[in-house]
Amino acid sequence: MSDTPKHNGKAAPAQVTYANMLFYGCWSGLGIMAVTYILYVTGILTPHVPLEKVPLLWSQPVGTYLELGKVPHGWGWTVLIGKGDFLNFLGIVLLAGMTILCYIPLIPAFLKRGEKGFALMALAEIIVLLVAASGIVGGGAH
């Protein structure tokens, strides 16, 4: 006989929670991106960078685009969230943050099952991703 644990073929409740959150979160992010894109291209929300300037600015190096478009870097875009061309970042942020959001309910689930090591790893993963997204370590485009 083998010493490996037997599986009944069913996913653990924590796995189901993670998968469900990821499924609905990703579809929500894509939906938000579609709606905010429509708001942008129809002109319902005024863009920060006028639509007619976008082709000219996109052909420039990113530094020139940021300077001529008066676009803040890093998380500075949040002050422009009411503009049509920056509102669509909400969907992108949701998609990018889904791993963090999905790890949160894993911590109490692991603790409930007495798996403190896994709970600690999930917490560490959340902290690492939040620090990376913050830009405070200076390793990204922030």
Residue 52 domain-assigned (yes or no): yes
Tokens standing for 87? 């509102």
Closest CA to 106 of 4, 30, 9, 20: 20
Per the structure, how many domains does the chain have? 1
Q: What is the pLDDT of residue 7?
A: 62
pLDDT by 10s per residue, the chain, length 142: 455 556 677 888 888 889 999 999 999 999 999 999 999 989 899 999 988 888 888 888 988 888 988 988 888 889 999 999 999 999 999 999 999 999 999 999 999 999 999 999 999 999 999 998 887 876 555 4
Q: What is the pLDDT of residue 46?
A: 92
Q: What is the pLDDT of residue 133?
A: 86
Q: What is the pLDDT of residue 112?
A: 93
Q: What is the pLDDT of residue 33?
A: 96
Residue 1 domain-assigned (yes or no): no
Residue 2 domain-assigned (yes or no): no
Q: What is the pLDDT of residue 1?
A: 47
Q: What is the pLDDT of residue 142?
A: 43
Q: What is the per-residue burial (b if ≥16 Cβ within 10 Å, else e) of 78-91? A: eebeebbbbbbbbb
Residue 141 domain-assigned (yes or no): no
For residue 38, give its domain range. 13-134
Burial of residue 99, with CB atoms counted within 10 A of its CB: 0-12 exposed, 13-18 middle, 19 or more buried: middle
Residue 8 domain-assigned (yes or no): no
For residues 122 and 51, give the distance between their C-alpha atoms in angstroms, rounded to a whole number: 42
For residues 123 and 117, give the distance between their C-alpha atoms in angstroms, rounded to a whole number: 10
Residue 82 domain-assigned (yes or no): yes
- Local structure of 11: helix, strand or coil: coil
Q: What pTM was estimated for this model as a whole? A: 0.75
